Amino acid sequence: MDAAGPAVLIAPTEIPCTGCGLIVEGGTDGCQALFDAETARAYADARFAARRRMVVDTYCLQHPDRYCVSAISLAAHLTGVCVAVEHRGVEDAVNAAIQRWLSRRPQLDKPAIPDGRGTLTIADLRTTSDPAEHARLAEAWARATWDAYSPVHAVARGWVDHVDREPRD
Ligand SMILES: [Zn+2]
């Protein structure tokens, strides 16, 4: 028992993240700290890195003001989540083709980004400590975020299909 102060402190700095809406100490910065901690875990333990690309793309889609400013960056993260959810078996090949396409800096129209960001956040992923549960939660988080982006599904699928039709270089 700590006699120096109350056992429970209400953090006055718990505010919503401007990206995903998570209520967290430090708001947007606190949310980013959770993501940084997740990044550190993935580097330290490969069991938590199996779907790393999907985790990064999902976080970026939930924080577009920071990570999806240009049409190219939005396209990279949006197609990444699209491929993770809808093209699971060929994820690496399709992502590589998209990477080659975007590296040529195509002229893209950036669609309006939906206000809703889905029901799960990085905080949910951070509650997991078992690798199988982590993988399941990461998948659910990506799907929930993809669902929140339904107004731009057609644009995302168009970009993925465009790459599928491109000659391999
Ligand atoms: Zn956030």
Q: Write the pLDDT tens digit of every residue in 66-110.
A: 999 999 999 999 999 999 999 998 999 999 999 999 999 999 999
Find the 29 Cα to ligand 1 centroid distance in Å: 8
Ion ligand 1 residue ranges (Cβ < 5 Å):
17, 19-20, 22, 31
Q: Is 55 within the bounds of a domain?
A: yes
Q: Which domain covers residue 161, as residue numbers?
A: 51-165
State which amino acid sits at residue 104.
Answer: R
Angle at the Cα of 80 (from 41 to 113), degrees rounded to 5? 105
Find the 64 Cα to ligand 1 centroid distance in Å: 10
pTM score, whole prediction: 0.90
- Give me the number of domains the chain comprises: 1
Exposed, middle or buried: residue 159 (CB in 10 Å: 0-12, 13-18, 19+)? buried
DSSP SS3 for 40 = helix
Mean pLDDT, residues 138-143 = 98
Q: Is 32 within the bounds of a domain?
A: no
Give exposure, 15-43, as e/b (b: 16+ Cβ within 10 Å).
bebebbbbebeebbebbbebbeebeebbe
Find the 82 Cα to ligand 1 centroid distance in Å: 20
Q: Is 13 within the bounds of a domain?
A: no
Q: Is 68 within the bounds of a domain?
A: yes
Mean pLDDT, residues 28-50 = 97
Q: Is 60 within the bounds of a domain?
A: yes
